[in-house]
Chains A and B, each alone.
Chain A
Amino acid sequence: MSDHNLTHNHEEHEHHEDNFFSKYVFSMDHKMIARQFLITGIIMGTIGMIMSLIFRLQLAYPDMKFPFLEGVLGHWAKDGKLDPNFYLALITIHGTIMVFYVLTAGLSGTFSNLLIPLQIGARDMASPFMNMLSYWFFFASSVVLLSSLFVDGGPASAGWTVYPPLSALPSAIPGSGTGMTLWLAAMILFIASALLGGINYIATVLNMRTKGMKMTRLPLTIWAFFVTAILGLLSFPVLLGGSLLLVFDRSFGTSFYLSEIVAEFAGGIERTGGSPILFQHLFWFLGHPEVYIILLPALGITSEVIATNSRKPIFGYRAMIGSILAIGILSFIVWGHHMFITGMNPFLGSVFMLGTLIIAVPSAVKTFNYLATLWKGNLHLTPAMMFAIGLVSFFISGGLTGIYLGNAALDINLHDTYFVVAHFHLVMGSAAIFGMLSGIYHWYPKLFGRMMNETAGHVHFWLTIVSAYCVFFPMHFMGLAGVPRRYYANTAYDQFNVFVDMNQFITIAAILGGAAQLIFLANFFISIYKGKRAPQNPWNSTTLEWTAPVEHLHGNWPGEIPHVYRWAYDYSKPGAEEDFIPQNIPDAGQIDPMEEAVGLPEPSKKSVQEPVMA
């Protein structure tokens, strides 16, 4: 279908011998690196999920004993009862893994690596070597983080936000010792990985697009990955600076984050002159952009999947780009909404509140554009499409509560309660996981050359979305009633006893949801070997990655790189023969890739050439 300019010249794939190590381990091929990121991400995600099930068990049955836990956790669950310190460690590592390892590296790492070169028409990343380093830093970081589960005192327990003083004084709580040190080491490796990756993604998008791939013809996935990379590039360094100071506070006796109040509570230590709020500023300067680093790639994937499977051009392409940019810029000036009640100047609070509420505008633009794209579309409800629609649902239900939380006055009441847990699990956790799953189902044929099982995909989808809502929706009510987050057992307070049943319901739903992921895991790993062979373009998509051969080869295209003649969303163009026109197909009379396509393709290739001769 697209052999338009694929002159099969075989020089390209004459390559030096690949041995096992250069092919699978220290690979510099972006498609292999994408798979490495994905599989590492899935493993980390499974670990993070199992952790959540363990502490959910504790929250639902605080007085019950689960002897099997002692078998798994050893002295952290003596007689089958979870140790309170280990509870804190679990939620901290759960949050860290989910936010950074699964939804930052696992999501961006996989899809930016896979799709940037393939969708912009490049042979590989700008620097394949740095790309490989990026993965191996990520891998090392994962190993360091997981190794902290086995040290004395347990892993870091100060929450994924690692606020001082719990993170700054090694003797504060058990997890503040070696566990916290390893957390910081893991995070510094992680930042190195994120920066190496980000520099590469940006340079590749800017410099390596194929001829005709104007910025305004890029698929929205690429726009999302591009802005995500910029956000990471500008915010991770600030966490690096903040972590560096934290390391000095912990190990070298400085007191950047230790103030008089802290010193007094810590038994009158000689450590004053700093402020824990400084850390919060530095942390959230990363932390807020981070939630968009998580969300934007998922939104980009959704745009692509929804347009393809609605067989309609994405509604408001330029508005989508504009809203991605607007979200990106605004995300840098709203970090203070996490700090409304820290004692920050109330005037600053209202500035941050204004910025936060303004973000609702581009977010709404995106939502309405999704809905408008779906509207009267010829919907193909593939599993990828189901998950993409699921994302839109979570983006709405979780986004609405963001408006409450962004309000400085309301946040006094809601801060640090389960309302927050409900909010971010819907809008960031579930939405981004759904985006990631949607991407996996959609691009699996590109990743592994095979198809996943559709029926299993649908079962997986329905079980997951129902259980996700059952888990996270009731948490709103608990939060409104004041149940605090990060507490080991809510039954310690009489007024929360009304939630015993609800807590059990949530936990049962969570276990069911966890079980549903087994279907996914089986589908994923079995299909690698046993799946149906993928056709060239399984979803009849317009983007360039589907013009590359199913088998992976270095340099992606056997012949010349295809040129691009049109935007990425020519679906159901009136008058066209098929309901999609790939980006590399010129219109009748269009010789130059730079010209906008306006007409319709002639039925035969030959007539494309003719006007030139005339």
Chain B
Amino acid sequence: MATNTLSTENKFTWGGGKSPFSVSYGKLMMWIFLLSDAFTFSSLLIAYGFIRYSFQSPIHNEIVKPLAHLSDNFVEQMQQAGLFVQDHWPSPELVFNHFPFVHGMHLPLFFVSLMTFILIFSSVTMVLAVEAGHRMAKDEVAKYMLLTIIGGAAFLGCQAWEWSTFIGEGARLYENPFGPKSFAALFFIVTGFHGFHVFSGVMLNVIIYLNVLNGTYEKRGHYEMIEKVGLYWHFVDLVWVFVFTFYYLI
């Protein structure tokens, strides 16, 4: 009788009595939450697309070459040259062209590429933490979680620098020397909302990291919690890829 039950049970994945996806309800809930969060981000990105395409496309820049000299009144120069105008979306590479400690050089999108690299790298360390969790290797989990936290914090630091540079040049929610006001407003909201997610992720990671050090998961017998925050972290990373593509590249 027992064998009979077992064999039919395997046939009926959806037959009840167990999870059809072979995941715990906690992990399933994280997936479902991420699905809905994806829709929140989509709504903001769609708003971005809707507003962006009500303006004309960026004017192609042939004046400033990479590594060229950047004068202090670069924004005014561009306004005069007709590259930053009210009815054209500004070209992101002319807006985001600074790099910390490097003054007077046109470095289009160098910094944001570095940020992207940092964030993706922190996803890699997260994967390594999850993998170490499967082996119940507490010290390794702790090490990679710490690296992930550092990566996330570094990303947030970079974002803070980018925001303050942008604001320093006169951008506000309601003001934008580079062209249409919506450009700045959307920048703050989209990257801000993403940054808020990164911030929450770092906080979660810190809590989990402390739990790892305390041996909570070792006592529990599994490191599933790492997988759950891992899902969240990869999601935040994936969203950044979209933000980066839409906001900076096209």
Contacts and interface: CB of A to CB of B under 8 A. Distances in A.
Given A233-B35, A236-B36, A209 B42 contact: no
A252 interface: yes
Given A203-B32, A253-B174, A273-B181, A278 B16 contact: no
Interface string A285-302: 100000000000000000
Interface string B8-42: 11011011110111011110110011011101111
Contacts of A236: 36
B43 A242 contact: yes
A276 to B, nearest CB: 12
Contacts of B17: 209-213, 563, 593
A240 interface: yes
B160 interface: no
Given A238-B39, A254-B185, A203 B25 contact: yes
Interface stretch (A49-57, A194-202, A307-315, A427-435): A194-202
B174 A254 contact: yes
A198 B33 CA distance: 9
Contact of A241 (B24, B35, B43): B43
A235 B182 CA distance: 25
Nearest to A271: B174
Contacts of A248: 173, 185, 189
A199 B32 contact: yes
A121 B35 CA distance: 26
Given A237-B36, A273-B51, A594-B9, A212 B15 contact: yes
Interface residues of B, number: 46
Contacts of B42: 238, 241
Given A126-B29, A206-B19, A594-B9, A273 B180 contact: yes
Contact of A275 (B15, B26, B40, B50): B50
Contact of B43 (A126, A130, A237): A237
Given A203-B25, A212-B17, A252-B173, A241 B33 contact: no
B4 interface: yes
B42 to A, nearest CB: 7
Contacts of B12: 214, 594
Contacts of A417: none
B50 A281 contact: yes
A410 interface: no
B64 interface: no
Interface in B168-205: 172-174, 180-182, 185, 189, 193
A208 B1 contact: no
A374 B232 CA distance: 49
B21 A206 contact: yes
Given A213-B16, A234-B36, A234-B39, A256 B1 contact: no
A180 to B, nearest CB: 19
A199 B51 contact: no
A592 B9 CA distance: 9
A465 B179 CA distance: 59
Given A252-B174, A282-B43, A274 B182 contact: yes
Contacts of B189: 244-245, 248, 254
21 contacts: A121-B16, A126-B25, A198-B32, A199-B32, A199-B33, A207-B28, A208-B25, A211-B17, A213-B16, A238-B40, A253-B173, A254-B173, A255-B174, A256-B47, A278-B51, A281-B50, A282-B46, A591-B1, A593-B15, A594-B8, A594-B11
Given A204-B25, A285-B43, 15 more contacts: A195-B36, A203-B28, A206-B20, A207-B25, A215-B14, A234-B36, A236-B36, A238-B40, A240-B43, A245-B44, A253-B172, A254-B189, A281-B46, A591-B4, A594-B9
Interface of A: 120-121, 126-127, 130, 195, 198-200, 202-204, 206-215, 233-238, 240-242, 244-245, 248, 252-256, 272-275, 278, 281-282, 285, 563-564, 591-595, 612
